[in-house]
Amino acid sequence: MAYITKIDNKEFKVDLKQEGKDFKVYLDGKEIKVEVAHEQGAQLTLIVDDKPFNVILETDDLIVVAGESYNVEIFDEQVEKFMKASTGKSEKRELAVKAAMPGLIIEVTVKQGDKVTEGQGLLIIEAMKMQNEMQTPRDGVVKTIKVKKGQTVNSGETLIIIE
Amino acid sequence: MFKKILVANRGEIAVRVLRACREMSISSATVFSDADRTALHTRYADEVYHLGPAPAAESYLRIDKIIEVAKRAKVEAIHPGYGFLAENTGFAEACEASGIVFIGPTSKAIRLLGDKIISKKTMSDVGIPVIPGSGGAVVDESEAQTMAKQIGFPVFIKAAGGGGGKGMRVVREMKELTSAMKQAVSEAQSAFGNPTVFIEKFLEAPRHIEFQILADHHGNVVHLFERECSVQRRHQKLIEESPSAIMTPDLRARMGQAAVQAVKASNYTNAGTVEFMVDKNRSFYFLEMNTRLQVEHPVTELITGIDIVKEQFKIAAGQRLSIKQDGIRMNGAAIECRISAEDPENNFAPSTGRIVEIIEPGGPGVRIDSGVYEGFEVPIYYDPLIAKLLVWATSRDQVIKRAKRALKEYSIRGIKTSIPFHLLVMNTPEFIKGEYDTTFIDKVLGKVKYKKENHEVAAIAAAIGRILKEKRAKISEAKKEAGVNPWKLSARQMGLRNM
């Protein structure tokens, strides 16, 4: 199987073949031996080139490696090729900015159609007695604003869609 | 000594105080809200009493209910912890009126020191240096403008009624003044129920250094040296250490003397903290006095060997201080890292939810004061502080290395925590050299990216994760199609066995 993975916006091509419990991996064409030493629920211990790494597959878009969190996007290479050929665009074009926790929307600081740059504030949520700014993790354009001032939101609720 | 004490708080500080009760064989009672039925403090105390719904205003801030619990539980004294009612004059008064000992200063001292305007004047009258400012409440915009012109920009707008970074704004230009003042007033109103603000000169790049004091009811006052608290974000402390890297024996003696003088000037009793700002020339100014046990008190406990909570009990029970100033020794160095349920890689956004797993560090010189456990759901209603990592070693150099080691061992899963932030600080040259002030986070860390070196492993793990997930999905699909329900199968087998 071949995948295109984006790790904190860095792109890698991962081609891998399972051999028993282990994997033969080609990372951007470079061969790497990967052993799955331990697998329990979301926790994995991978031995990559003889070095052990504790890995937690927290969610579909978040992976923790040796205590460091990484944002992950992963696409099937075949699907990606097909999408590019037919629409000229990648599989996943939109990014939903979700509420990190339940809270009250104090202010929305962007408008639909605004150009935003990585790290720019989008809105302010009040929770745990403090006001917190939600930022866009990448550059883009504000496509949809799903919440308004004074509204309460639940954790994981989509707030704004960036295109 | 008291036979029974009520701890009117929650989280790690409630557990901390309950531990002192247990070590002194004092019976304990505590209170809990709907959100804290399964909290650690609720499981730790000898007796537990329900207060009300989750919001603090309906539970931990209800003076009437807490006094009622104290009477019902027949306690002799109440420890308020920090936050909530710890610095509430009305609560101390209610205790005094009910004949229950409030483990802290008198309501009169809280009132005096809780008002930053009056306290500044009290200190300045006895010759303790204070920061130039309005000296009184600023009522409207035009007064604020006149005052700001007089003092000179930058100025600091502060709530008269509180602390902890709420109701505070730095203003650098006249055009920012109106909106900053509005925000400060509204935050002060919602956080402390008191919209009064005042203005003072904003010191550029100061250090925040505080002195721990103990004062009994017989006129004895001692200080337990300093704590350096300059690693702050939005005026919230994140890391504290003692001794301070810039401290000299002469400066320590002078600041310690000023701290003791501040205590005497305000007739203060019990444990307290005198906060100072120290500028680049090592001139110090009285900032405020915290009339409670501080979050960071264990830093002092580690370097002096004095249990501050036990001292609070003894003082409140009327005992004389058994320690004299010249008998207090400073041994080694200590650091506290506040572990909060916040995502430091996402602008410290709060992160609540269930804690799936905790692996705490151990080994030499490590102390954890925690209010949570594996499986606990961190509620959204209260402060994000969930635990404190404290480390001790023989020198500052060694204690930083030890903190780094302990932080690497510390793993909390299910929620995001400030652990990566602390690791980042422990690896920052300015912190290691002790060359930092209250602008450290904005100026030094603002540009630093979190160190990440395992992108390639993450890429591989993501792909392997995808394959494993698909395989698991196929297996459960196959099971469904085969129509074999393991429960049914088991029941059939049991049935056969019973035949």
Distance CA B492, CA B499 (A): 11
The answer to whether the CB atoms of B420 and A69 lie below 8 A apart is yes
Per-residue model confidence (pLDDT) at position A69: 82
**B481 Cβ under 8 Å from any chain A Cβ:** no
**B455 Cβ under 8 Å from any chain A Cβ:** yes
Q: Of A16, A48, A133, which is closest to B347 when you measure between CB atoms?
A: A133
Name every residue whose Cβ is closer than 8 Å to that of residue A142 and which is 6 or more positions away in sequence. Answer: A110, A111, A112, A113, A114, A116, A122, A160, A161, A162, A163
**B183 Cβ under 8 Å from any chain A Cβ:** no
Q: Of A3, A67, A155, which is closest to B463 when you measure between CB atoms?
A: A3
Domain architecture of chain A: domains with CATH: 2-87 (3.30.700.30), 95-162 (2.40.50.100)
The answer to whether the CB atoms of B352 and A102 lie below 8 A apart is yes
Q: Which CATH architecture has domain B208-445?
A: 2-Layer Sandwich (3.30)
Size of interface A-B (CB pairs under 8 A): 138
Which residues from A are below 8 Å from B408, CB to CB?
Answer: 67
Distance CA B128, CA B454 (A): 53
Where does B132-201 sit in CATH, by number?
Answer: 3.30.1490.20
Question: Best mutation site among B238, B411, B466, B468 for testing chain A: the one with the most A CBs within 10 Å?
Answer: B466
Q: Which has the minimum average pLDDT: A74-83, B39-48, B52-61, B422-431?
A: A74-83
To the nearest 10°, the Cα dihedral for B147, B150, B156, B157? 0
- Which of B116, B144, B83, B440 shows the shortest CA–CA distance to B286? B116
Per-residue model confidence (pLDDT) at position B277: 95
For residue range B413-462, what is the model confidence (pLDDT) as tens digits? 888 899 999 999 999 999 999 999 999 998 888 766 777 789 999 999 99
Instruction: Give the residue ranges of chain A where pLDDT is below 70.
Output: 83-84, 86-93, 129-130
Based on the residue annotation, tell me whether B292 is a catalytic residue of this protein: yes
Q: CATH assignment of B4-103, given 3.40.50.2300, 3.40.50.1100, 3.40.50.20, 3.90.1530.10?
A: 3.40.50.20
Annotated catalytic residue, options B169, B233, B252, B292: B292
Tokens of residue A4, six digits: 């295109």
Give the residue extent of every domain in chain B. Answer: 4-103, 132-201, 208-445, 455-498
Distance CA B167, CA B158 (A): 6
- Which of B270, B316, B260, B264 shows the shortest CA–CA distance to B294? B270
B86 in Cβ contact with B295 (< 8 Å): no
- Which of B341, B348, B349 shows the shortest CA–CA distance to B378? B341
Question: Would you call A4 helix, strand, or coil by DSSP?
Answer: strand
Q: What does pTM read for this prediction?
A: 0.80
Name every residue whose Cβ is closer than 8 Å to that of residue B312 and which is 6 or more positions away in sequence. Answer: B79, B103, B104, B270, B271, B293
For residue range B267-288, what is the model confidence (pLDDT) as tens digits? 999 999 999 999 988 999 999 9
Distance CA B9, CA B59 (A): 10
Q: Of B343, B452, B459, which is closest to A100 when you measure between CB atoms?
A: B343
**B474 Cβ under 8 Å from any chain A Cβ:** no
Q: What is the ipTM of this complex?
A: 0.72
Which residues from B are below 8 Å from A101, CB to CB?
Answer: 349-353, 380
Per-residue model confidence (pLDDT) at position B163: 65
Q: How many CA atoms lie within 13 A of B167 on its CB side?
A: 22
